[in-house]
Structure 1
Amino acid sequence: MFAKKRKEVCAMIQDHSPLSVREKNGLQQLEIKSLTTAHCHKKRIGLCGILDSANMQDVIHDHDYLPFPLHHQLILNKISVTPDSAKEIEKKTKNQTKTKLWHTERSFRVTASRVGEICKFTAKKDQEKYAQILICNKKIVSTALEWGKSMETTAIEAYEGKTGKKVERCGLYVSVQYPFIGASPDGLIGDNKILEVKCPYSIKDEMIGSNNYFHLEHDLQLKETSNYYYQIQTQLLVTGRDCCDLFIWTNVDEKIINVKKNDSFIQNIIIPRVKAFFFQFMLPKIAKNMYDC
């Protein structure tokens, strides 16, 4: 009877040692210790039932050979995606804000709409504060945001009517190469273009121009200094597409501005700055919130 029980317990023990040393002499002690603490009787609980829970700080110390602290590595493992799992996330989050998964997956990542602010930070205290805001994932309410959300569908329909192109709604895209970056474009156009819609409340009853919409140059091109430029370039990075139609809509006017992918801008500015922000400020706060250490 005991032999049968012993085999059952042995089958449940997970050996996390490297394959090169697994089942070599010396590891029998690990098995004996596991059996001793796990074995129970109908009248007695096992030792593991009366021992204190593992101290996370001690566990982290025991894994100091990892490239990152253990609790940081656990987060990185959690957000890592394959091409297939990234597609699955996008598929399941097509309703975006109405989907719980959309909010959950975003909470572990820097998303495109935040990249402009992150890339422009210079003070450490500002980055720490902003990282805390991101992981708290508090709902921001403002008249301008509510207006933009309420008019988004109207604007997309206006774009389709103006161009004759069908807009495909999409969910959250996660970068396979940089899984700490995510983006949710307002739509997909064909095989190589995305759509980003802006319905500015400040000029909702005005014609659109560089004189009243500071994101635009005099020739009605999007400024590279605009946070929208950073947002769109990040969306193009994550979706793997090459251009974006920025559609600006008001009650009396509408403009289509084509924005091409800027590989140099992405590689030299966006990726290094977002990566530094995530690993230095955001990842430690996520890990602390999840593991309290």
Structure 2
Amino acid sequence: MSFTRLTTLLTFPLQTTLILNSDYADNNTATAITQEETEALEQATVQQANCNLWYKCREQRLTASQFGRVITRKKDVNTKFLTSLCKVCDAGQTEILEVKCPYSARDMTVAEAVDGNPNFYMAKSGNGLQLKKTHQYFHQVQGQLMVTGAPFCDFVVFTSKDIHVERIVPDTAVWEAMLSKLALFYKEHVTPFLANT
């Protein structure tokens, strides 16, 4: 399979300027890092969950695996939801492989899972299957792509009877919409929550 690296078309990580008030900027200087620090941190935490620094650096940050929960959340925000967001969760790599092993579909093909469950995160598309763009996993993947600058994510659904691989590329329009919601959520909910804990 031949493809053009997306990094030859766009500069990643995507630089997006948001207009936020000075309180937001002042309260988030502890979590802000430069591009050089980002690259050094990536190398130092390659072991992810086996690395204490990985856990420490994820504190007080929204991570890609949480983006979908924020984007699709109900309007009201409770303490339990905020507490779950502020825990450490999965992260992506430079070229991302995201593997899902749905227990409820463990003895089915992926197509059978789609046919048998309208809430399954995959849907029929043309002659194949595709991750639903409304599902939290789609937001997770887009966040991983934009934050890391990776040119693609191979999204894998694995069951005992089947394996499905979908190559997903960054979608800047989706990211722009996500980023404004994520920043507003962080400013209005996470920052006050962390200040009171």
Q: TM-score, normalised by structure 2?
A: 0.77
Aligned residue number for residue 5 of structure 2: none
Post-superposition Cα deviations, 1:96-119, rounded to whole Å, max 9, x if no partner, equal 112111111112111111111111
- 1:115–1:234 CA contact under 8 A, matched in 2: yes
Instruction: Decide which structure has greater helix share.
Output: 1
Does 2:91 align with 1:184?
yes
Please state how far the C-alpha of 1:274 moved relative to its aligned partner: 0.6
Of structures 1 and 2, the larger Rg is shown by 1
In the alignment, the residues of structure 1 paired with residue 145 and residue 194 of structure 2 have an alpha-carbon distance, to the nearest angstrom, of: 26
Q: Structure 2 residue aligned with 1:131, among 82, 85, 88?
A: 82
In the alignment, the residues of structure 2 paired with residue 248 and residue 102 of structure 1 have an alpha-carbon distance, to the nearest angstrom, of: 26
- 1:184–1:235 CA contact under 8 A, matched in 2: yes
Q: Structure 2 residue aligned with 1:260, among 166, 169, 174?
A: 169
- 1:203–1:212 CA contact under 8 A, matched in 2: no
Equivalent residue letter for 2:170: K
Please state how far the C-alpha of 1:212 moved relative to its aligned partner: 4.2
Mapping of 1:26-37 within 5 angstroms? none
> Against the structure 1 CA distance between its residues 110 and 138, is the aligned structure 2 distance closer, same or farther, given a 3 Å change threshold?
closer
- 1:132–1:282 CA contact under 8 A, matched in 2: no
In the alignment, the residues of structure 1 paired with residue 88 and residue 91 of structure 2 have an alpha-carbon distance, to the nearest angstrom, of: 18
Mapping of 1:148-227 within 5 angstroms? 184-185=91-92, 187-189=93-95, 194-209=96-111, 210-212=114-116, 214-219=120-125, 220-227=129-136
Q: TM-score, normalised by structure 1?
A: 0.53
In the alignment, the residues of structure 2 paired with residue 221 and residue 278 of structure 1 have an alpha-carbon distance, to the nearest angstrom, of: 30
Aligned residue number for residue 229 of structure 1: 138
> Against the structure 1 CA distance between its residues 83 and 188, is the aligned structure 2 distance closer, same or farther, given a 3 Å change threshold?
closer
Q: Which runs of 4+ in 1 moved over 4 A?
A: none
Does 2:23 align with 1:68?
yes
Post-superposition Cα deviations, 1:117-146, rounded to whole Å, max 9, x if no partner, equal 1112232334x54223323x289xxxxxxx
Equivalent residue letter for 1:278: Y
Aligned residue number for residue 78 of structure 1: 30
> Against the structure 1 CA distance between its residues 93 and 138, is the aligned structure 2 distance closer, same or farther, given a 3 Å change threshold?
closer
- 1:244–1:259 CA contact under 8 A, matched in 2: yes
> Against the structure 1 CA distance between its residues 100 and 114, is the aligned structure 2 distance closer, same or farther, given a 3 Å change threshold?
same
- 1:207–1:252 CA contact under 8 A, matched in 2: yes
Unaligned runs of 5+ in 1: 1-65, 140-182
- 2:55–2:88 CA contact under 8 A, matched in 1: no
Q: Percent identity?
A: 26
Unaligned runs of 5+ in 2: 1-20
Determine helix, strand or coil for the equivalent of 1:247: strand
> Against the structure 1 CA distance between its residues 245 and 138, is the aligned structure 2 distance closer, same or farther, given a 3 Å change threshold?
closer
Aligned residue number for residue 245 of structure 1: 154
Determine helix, strand or coil for the equivalent of 2:157: strand
Q: In angstroms, what is the RMSD of aligned CA positions?
A: 2.3
> Against the structure 1 CA distance between its residues 106 and 133, is the aligned structure 2 distance closer, same or farther, given a 3 Å change threshold?
same
Higher relative contact order (CA 8 A, sep 6+): 2
In the alignment, the residues of structure 2 paired with residue 188 and residue 212 of structure 1 have an alpha-carbon distance, to the nearest angstrom, of: 34
Please state how far the C-alpha of 1:272 moved relative to its aligned partner: 0.8
> Against the structure 1 CA distance between its residues 284 and 134, is the aligned structure 2 distance closer, same or farther, given a 3 Å change threshold?
same
Post-superposition Cα deviations, 1:240-272, rounded to whole Å, max 9, x if no partner, equal 12321101112221111121211111102x101
Aligned residue number for residue 11 of structure 2: none
